[in-house]
Structure 1
Amino acid sequence: MQTVEPGGKGMERENMVSIEDRIPKLKKLRKRKTNRRLIFIISLFFLIILVIIYFQSPLSKIHSIKVEGNELIPTVEVLEKSGLKENQGIWESSLKQAEKKLEQDERIQEADISIGFPNRLNISVTEQRKMAYLSDGETLYPVLNNGAIIKEATGGPLEQLPILHNFEAGKVLDRMMTSLEELPPEVRNAISEIYYVPKKNDNLRIQLFMNDGFEVSANLKTFSEKMVYYPEIASQLDPDVKGIIDLQVGSYFRAYPSERDEMTEEAPPEH
């Protein structure tokens, strides 16, 4: 009886048979890899061709620019400040840079520029809020929440906003705008006029005239904090008895002198 020792000829034949069985599979695997590489190279080639054609075609140029969200600043001015133009290469334009240019304008709070299909640009601007009007005695100029004064005089019907007197561009006006912005809309809309009336010992004193006929004396340091309670204070007063609501120190009401009081003061003393 003949035995086959390990590592003998019998084992070699088995190994030879298994390798021969695997050769067709290896050939198929190599062919697949080759086909994949060929497909990738061809696809990349056509992609490059398409990109070149695109950049040479009108599709890569800005066809139109749409501006939205602007009221304080004209559309023409938005386009000029952005530096974007029609027929300009859409990918040559720095949209982020254009946004920064627009946001440098004191009337614009935020700008967003996006690309619309196929070659349109959309410029969306969020403007600063109009908070009041500044009077110079003859003309009213819109004032924004950041304290910026719009140099162009307002035209058309006025919005229901306070009219400011004796204010100038600067820290006091900025503080006034911040205080107004902190007020609830119903309180802000109840203010008719605001006068800046500083004193030697109080350079932040203001005087308000309300739409309901009352007058308010306040200090800008505590104005927004105390003015929030104006509707509650006014509701406790007789609407037929007008006067001054003093919010500078604490909160109290002082009625205007009546006609009888004035006559009594003016009457000559009896002898």
Structure 2
Amino acid sequence: MTKEKIVSIEDRIPKLKQARKKKANRRLVFYLSIFFFLLSIIVYLQSPLSNVKTIVVTGNSLYPEEKVIEQSGINNDTNIWTIQKEEIMNTLEKNPIVDKVTVETRLPWTVEIQLIEHERIGYIKKEDDYYPILGNGEVLSESKNDRLTGDAPLLVNFTDKKILIEMSEELSKLPTNIFNIISEIHWSQADLNSKEITLFMSDGFMVESSIRDFSEKMKVYPSIAAQLDPNAEGIIHIGVGAYFEPYNQEITEEEIITNDNEE
């Protein structure tokens, strides 16, 4: 039979005191860590350490970065926690170039402003210069070129602002493959049909159509052009129906009705 070792209370007391002391030290370290952590946050929030140091602007091609930053009202004295995102977005979206704005803060001191600009859908000529037109019909009077770049069609005779806006909105909805082959668009300003337009296409054809529902009507253009001889000369009429009219050849009423019925 083994004899159990008996530990006296005197031997246990020092060990209990040591264990309690270690536990108290750990608790003190924990509370001190929380204290200094909270203190560092307060110092960060109240000091220039939380001021904006970096402003990143993305998505802009027509709107200069320095103008975006200036109109946002953000600078190196702005505390990142005081930034009013909605207010900045509303301010920047007042610019006719801008369609949509998002503002994000990246701790500790970075602000990102992302723009979606209205698409450039054409050019208008004034005197000897060409000015870009946006999808909302806005003409960028500050961005002029002495020659066309070929990335969008030239709009001719669009002297009426409402007509220009309507045409611009239709062009912005046009499929890219069709938009890219339009060289010029002329507004006829006809009394009987104020929405009548004539298009000159880069594949050699002319098109007569209307501004009303233009983006929908022009979707048939590729299939019509594909059926025609590339060397054929004439006008493609796209309206209620669609038909091809060769130059110097009259289209009878019967032929037009037949083509419309085929559509």
Q: Same fold (TM over 0.5)?
A: yes
Tell me how many residue pairs correspond in the alignment: 222
User: Residue type matched to 2:66 in 1?
Assistant: V
Which of 74, 93, 106 aligns to 1:103? It is 93
Inter-partner Cα distance in structure 2 for 1:171 and 1:185: 24
Inter-partner Cα distance in structure 2 for 1:223 and 1:87: 50
Q: CA deviation at 1:41?
A: 8.9
Which of 70, 78, 91 aligns to 1:88? It is 78
Q: CA deviation at 1:52?
A: 2.7
Which consecutive unaligned segments of at least 5 residues does structure 2 have? 1-27, 250-263
In the alignment, is the contact (CA less than 8 A) between 2:153 and 2:183 conserved in 1? Answer: yes
Alignment of 1:116 with 2:73, yes or no, is no
Query: TM-score, structure 1 length as denominator?
Result: 0.74
**SS of structure 2 residue aligned to 1:195:** strand
Alignment of 1:254 with 2:255, yes or no, is no
Inter-partner Cα distance in structure 2 for 1:159 and 1:210: 12
Instruction: Give CA deviations for 1:29-61 in whole Å, capped at 9, x if unaligned.
Output: xxxxxxxxx999978865653333113333211
Which consecutive unaligned segments of at least 5 residues does structure 1 have? 1-37, 259-271
Instruction: Give CA deviations for 1:65-84 in whole Å, capped at 9, x if unaligned.
Output: 11111101001110111111
Which of 39, 51, 54 aligns to 2:41? It is 51
In the alignment, is the contact (CA less than 8 A) between 1:149 and 1:169 conserved in 2? Answer: no
Q: CA deviation at 1:189?
A: 0.8
Larger Rg: 1
Task: Report matched runs for 1:85-164 at 5 Å.
Answer: 85-155=75-145, 158-164=149-155
Q: CA deviation at 1:141?
A: 1.0
Inter-partner Cα distance in structure 2 for 1:215 and 1:150: 28
User: Residue type matched to 1:227 in 2?
Assistant: M
**SS of structure 2 residue aligned to 1:87:** coil
In the alignment, is the contact (CA less than 8 A) between 1:148 and 1:169 conserved in 2? Answer: no
Inter-partner Cα distance in structure 1 for 2:127 and 2:136: 23
Aligned alpha-carbon RMSD (Å):
2.5
User: Residue type matched to 1:196 in 2?
Assistant: W
User: Residue type matched to 1:60 in 2?
Assistant: S
Q: CA deviation at 1:62?
A: 0.9
**SS of structure 2 residue aligned to 1:228:** helix
Inter-partner Cα distance in structure 2 for 1:169 and 1:42: 73
Alignment of 1:211 with 2:172, yes or no, is no
In the alignment, is the contact (CA less than 8 A) between 1:182 and 1:224 conserved in 2? Answer: yes
**SS of structure 1 residue aligned to 2:215:** helix
Inter-partner Cα distance in structure 1 for 2:248 and 2:188: 22
Inter-partner Cα distance in structure 2 for 1:77 and 1:208: 37
Identical pairs, percent: 36
Q: Against the structure 1 CA distance between its residues 142 and 169, is the aligned structure 2 distance closer, same or farther, given a 3 Å change threshold?
A: farther
Inter-partner Cα distance in structure 2 for 1:196 and 1:70: 31
**SS of structure 2 residue aligned to 1:216:** strand
Q: Against the structure 1 CA distance between its residues 186 and 227, is the aligned structure 2 distance closer, same or farther, given a 3 Å change threshold?
A: same
In the alignment, is the contact (CA less than 8 A) between 2:119 and 2:172 conserved in 1? Answer: no
